Structure 1
Amino acid sequence: MLHWRTFDFAKGAGLLRFVDIDQTYPEKRSETERREDFNEIYRAFTTEAAAGQASRCSQCGVPFCQSGCPLQNNIPDWLMLAGEDRLREAYDASAATSTMPEICGRICPQDRLCEGSCVVEKSKHGAVTIGAVEQYITDTAWKEGWVEPLKVGPERGQSVAVIGSGPAGLAAAERLRESGFAVTVYERADRAGGLLMYGIPGFKLEKHVVQRRIDRLVRGGVAFKLNFEVGRDATLAEIRSGHHAVLLATGVYNARALTCPGSGDGVLAALDYLTRANRDDLGDPAANDSVLDARGKRVVVVGGGDTAMDCVRTAVRQGARSVTCLYRRDRANMPGSAREVKHAEEEGVVFEWLSAPLAVLTKGDAISAVRVQGMRLGAPDASGRRAPEADPGKTWDVEAEMVISALGFTPEDLPVLFEEPDLSVHRDGRVEADRDTRMASLDGVFVAGDLHRGASLVVWAIKDGLDAARSIESYLDNRMRVLGAAE
């Protein structure tokens, strides 16, 4: 590992600059401008700005930023290198632990992870802007041609099926292919990428950023079978029969629905709404479905996570007449990124804290309003958070023609969907697996990402995919040794 004492201060950049250089993020486009399109809201860092922010790192002996990162990225190392304008070396250090650092740099909630753990942040000087520097390093690497093709090891003569092409599946596919396995990714959508492609809006993650990662895997020999749905086009048993190991990385797509009166077919599921909006942004043929278009409508989104933030900000860009977000707890207890909330407020979204839908009201067949129940925070629940409870006598109506439910996701019923009753799942549908190996109840079948962990962050899915790839490699190595001994 590099250390700050190896830095050549004579070159003038130096480190430990957090006292005389203020915290700065890349410039945001104006609220007016960004409401007009789905492009990313931040302009690119200049070289000088990125180097200056990197030089604010304190290079502390115990790097809490690194421990706050699920991937244990070598953050102080590549900050030091970026601060010295050694960007190619910085990219190499960043890519050593992450398969898609430029994506994590864009969409990770750094305020809850690395930047939230930053010693400079704790000293009240404002965190090192780690995510923005991470993105700048890898975007520069792509621009300069430093992102090399996959380095595929000697072919092993063994194949692995990866079911699902979200961040867990893509990360695992990359590592397995580098280890010499033949890898086939099965994806039921018409594009690879999972939620990176169809769930996260372009203003947070432009789709060419995802596609170039997928293209790199294809050039490296990873096969993608698109429009292929396990359970429809093949059972899990049939997939297993054609491969030496299988990784389940389908994510969680079963939306939690509103349960209040009136929350029937007229209430939209968040992912249906976001998928259509992302398809429009990608230039797919228009669906001619005004139900999924917020233009001119008063929109109410129910939920407090990042998916809810994606929905409210998408509605703004579609030209909604007004956008209101209902969340049953207060701002301090909102699970979504604080930065996303701030962006949404800048773009005109109204947040109704301590509020929950009591009923969805209609006039004829059309939604006309949401009756809202005021809430208050009561005693802590099992997780330690203060549980919301109704505040008696406090109700009001919010006019709406479109209501979107963004209450999170649970797994689909995979034993039924995949025609595999021996696949063990938890009561909530998550696939059970050995804690250390990630192997499920079926021999040679592994699981990664939200399907095992529950709905979580992209960076955790990447970590799970990399861990599962290592377990699959060990499993197949052991299998080869056993077969070799038997011969």
Structure 2
Amino acid sequence: MAKQPMLKFVDVERDMPEKRSANLRNKDFNEIYAEFADAKAREQASRCSQCGVPYCQSHCPLHNNIPDWLRMTATGRLEEAYALSQSTNTFPEICGRICPQDRLCEGNCVIEQSGHGTVTIGSVEKYITDTAWENGWVKPITPVAERSESVGIIGAGPGGLAAADRLRRAGVQVVIYDRYDRAGGLLTYGIPGFKLEKDVVMRRIEQLEKSGVRFELNCEVGKDKSFNNIRNAHDAVIIATGVYKTRDLQGPGSGARGIVRAIDYLTASNKLSFGDTVAEFEDGTLDARDKKVIVIGGGDTAMDCVRTAIRQGAESVKCLYRRDRANMPGSQREVQNAEEEGVIFEWLAAPKGFTGDPVTGVMVQKMRLGPPDASGRQTPEVIEGADYTESADLVIKALGFEPEDLHTLWDQPALALTGWGTVKAKYGSGETNLDGVYAVGDIVRGASLVVWAIADGRDCADAVLTRLNSVKKVAAE
């Protein structure tokens, strides 16, 4: 009788790929986790309980068929595992690296709830697709038949790229317009290499280029090319710009030199990893070396900033967050990694103002958590008389992002927006109030996760295909 290949969670303990020691990894921008070896990937995949109702799958925005590709991995059917993983996720090797699995698939693993430790889903997902690349299983897209219709996509981030992939598989002609000099959006310039090495992103961009997707880079819509021109050039348009406007700081001294935006800081660091020369890094503005760095915020962007500053050789790095550790929006795994690397967290602390110009300090007011607000989260309240000043040479604003004013920027006053300035789009399809115009990702949701942008891009591509097929059918009748 064949031995049961799964349900080994009782006998086999949870194990992650080896993590490089903090005093080594905090000096470079290489990824901090090693790759699973084949035997270890099979072993960890075999811990899956093969639930009748897989909560890991239902809590994944892409509804990845996780139990099945875990079983295939455990039984050595890696090429099949990759094909199944790729069928629901455009970029599984990226999600395996940067998804907050502790809040999504792994956080809802049934064996985790029973005290046995979750299956290391993200690490296995990463291993499957990296193995696929190594073995040449990842091929350029070759549609069965080419179509004459074209779709313009504004934004080369995860949502736009996912939509482009799906449209090309159907034979649609795709052009992606992006303001940056490289495609990838935040995958390229917003996420540091120690979480997502850039060759991982670039090989996907190259795959799409070889598949016939055309990129128009250094193209800022509203400046280099009008939205109306793009709309007139295509049968449909997808807005996938993301949100890049930084929420600002208030208080005395908030305009001082040495107070910078997280997106500028991270973009400069990532450009350096490509070998680019960055003037604001060269002159010291965006270089943390030998500086006392204060990062303000508690999300994943703040974690990226503090860990980048450590690697740049900062004298000290502190993170101020107005709530406590249990109520921060960022990944707890990232907080742990940051602490291991030397970051100090000041919980229940918020900036009141700034001293000096260039900045020399942050005036901090201590907080306590009061009653819940409308969202259910406890509201931070100021503790009177508990103010103090933290020394700082560089302050990084990581307070989240808001949408740019598309009405003005693109001269599109008719485009329906929400009260938050995001594009108003139909759930599931991304259809806006403008005929043939769709929107996906953060420009619809507000600042969110990469995996949600991928899900939106795929769903929107399907809706666009339905539209194109309908128009084609009517034209043929």
TM-score by length of 2: 0.98
CA distance in 2, matches of 1:156, 1:43: 43
Aligned to 2:316: 322
Query: 1:152-172: per-residue Cα shift (whole Å, max 9, x none)?
Result: 131121000000000000000
Correspondent of 2:150 among 141, 159, 175: 159
Q: Whole-Å Cα distance in 2 between the matches of residues 453 and 184 of structure 1?
A: 23
- Tell me what 1:238 maps to: 229
Q: CA RMSD in A?
A: 1.0
Whole-Å Cα distance in 2 between the matches of residues 238 and 441 of structure 1?
18
2:88 aligned counterpart, secondary structure = coil
Give the match for residue 431 of structure 1.
423
CA distance in 1, matches of 2:31, 2:295: 22
Which residue in the other structure is 1:309 paired with? Answer: 303
Which segment is superposed worse, 281-290 or 403-412? 281-290
Superposed CA offset, 1:232-261 (max 9, x none): 122111111111000000000000011122
1:429 shift after superposition: 1.1
SS at match of 2:384: strand
1:240 and 1:317 map into 2 onto residues whose CA distance is: 43
Corresponding position of 2:27: 36
Query: 1:265: Cα distance to partner?
Result: 4.4
1:427-453 superposed Cα distances (whole Å, 9 cap, x missing partner) = 211011222431112100000000011
1:343 corresponds to 2:334: no
Q: Which residue number in structure 1 is paired with residue 74 of structure 2?
A: 83
Q: Quick check: 386-395 or 332-341, which moved more?
A: 386-395
Matched, 1:366 2:366: no
1:407 aligns with 2:399: yes
Cα separation, 2, equivalents of 1:435 and 1:139: 33
1:458 aligns with 2:450: yes
- Quote the Cα distance in structure 1 between the aligned partners of 2:92 and 2:129: 7
CA distance in 1, matches of 2:125, 2:266: 27
Give 5+ residue unaligned stretches, structure 1.
1-8
**TM-score, normalised with respect to structure 1:** 0.96
* Cα deviation, residue 61, structure 1: 0.5
> AA paired with 1:399?
S
Q: Residue 186 of structure 1 aligns to which amino acid in structure 2?
A: Y
CA distance in 1 between partners of 2:315 and 2:130 (Å): 36
Distance 1:311 1:265 in 2: 19
Q: Is the 8 A contact 1:377 1:389 kept in 2?
A: yes
Amino acid at match of 2:305: C
**Corresponding position: 1:254 with 2:248:** no
Indicate conservation of the 8 Å contact 2:189/2:267, yes or no. Answer: yes
- CA distance in 2 between counterparts of 1:151 and 1:129 reads 33
CA distance in 2, matches of 1:118, 1:163: 36
For 1:289-304, what aligned pairs fall within 5 Å after superposition? Answer: 289-304=283-298
CA deviations 1:359-399 (Å, max 9, x no partner) are 1111xx32111111110000000001111111122122111
Residue type at the aligned position of 1:126: G
What are the within-5 Å matches in structure 2 for residues 186-265 of structure 1?
Answer: 186-265=177-256
Count of aligned positions: 474
The residue that corresponds to 1:385 in the other structure is: 377
Which amino acid in the other structure matches residue 383 of structure 1? S
Alpha carbons 1:298, 1:399 under 8 Å: kept: yes
Report what 1:3 is aligned to.
none
Query: Which digits, 9 at most, give the CA deviation of each residue in 1:75-126, with x for residues without a partner?
Result: 0000001111211111111111000000000000000000000001101111
SS in 2 for 1:112: coil
- Matches of 1:455 and 1:152 in 2, distance apart? 33
CA 1:163/1:391 → structure 2, altered by over 3 Å: closer, same or farther? same
Q: Compute the displacement of 1:482 (Å).
A: 2.4
SS in 2 for 1:78: helix
> What residue identity is the alignment partner of 1:394?
A
Amino acid at match of 1:444: G
- Matching residue within 417, 423, 440 for 2:409: 417
* C-alpha contact 2:428 2:460 (8 A) present in aligned 1: no
1:274 paired to 2:266: yes
**Which letter maps to 2:379?**
A
Aligned partner of 1:441 in structure 2 is 433
The structure 2 residue matched to 1:125, chosen from 116, 126, 146, is 116
Q: CA separation in 2, counterparts of 1:133 and 1:13?
A: 20
Match of 1:185 in 2: 176
C-alpha displacement at 1:476, in angstroms? 1.3
Deviations 1:283-316 (A, max 9, x none): 1124223010000000000000000000000000
Counterpart position of 1:394:
386
CA displacement at 1:151 relative to structure 2 = 2.9
Distance in structure 2 (CA, Å) of the matches to 1:105 and 1:258: 34
Report the counterpart of residue 125 of structure 2 in structure 1: 134
1:13–1:84 Cα contact (<8 Å) kept? no
Cα distance in 1 for residues equivalent to 2:67 and 2:327? 30
Task: Answer yes or no: is the 8 Å Cα contact 1:430–1:452 preserved in 2.
Answer: yes
Unaligned runs of 5+ in 2: none
CA distance in 2, matches of 1:246, 1:166: 15
Counterpart contact for 2:350–2:365, Cα < 8 Å: yes
The one of 79, 90, 95 equivalent to 2:86 is: 95
- SS of the equivalent of 1:388 reads strand
Q: Which residue of 1 aligns with 2:60?
A: 69
Mapping of 1:103-122 within 5 angstroms? 103-122=94-113
Worse-matched range after superposition: 145-154 or 254-263: 145-154
Moved more, 269-278 or 232-241: 232-241
CA distance in 2, matches of 1:338, 1:52: 26
CA distance in 2, matches of 1:216, 1:144: 15
Report whether the alignment pairs 1:27 with 2:18. Answer: yes
Q: Contact between 2:368 and 2:383, CA under 8 Å: does it hold in 1?
A: yes
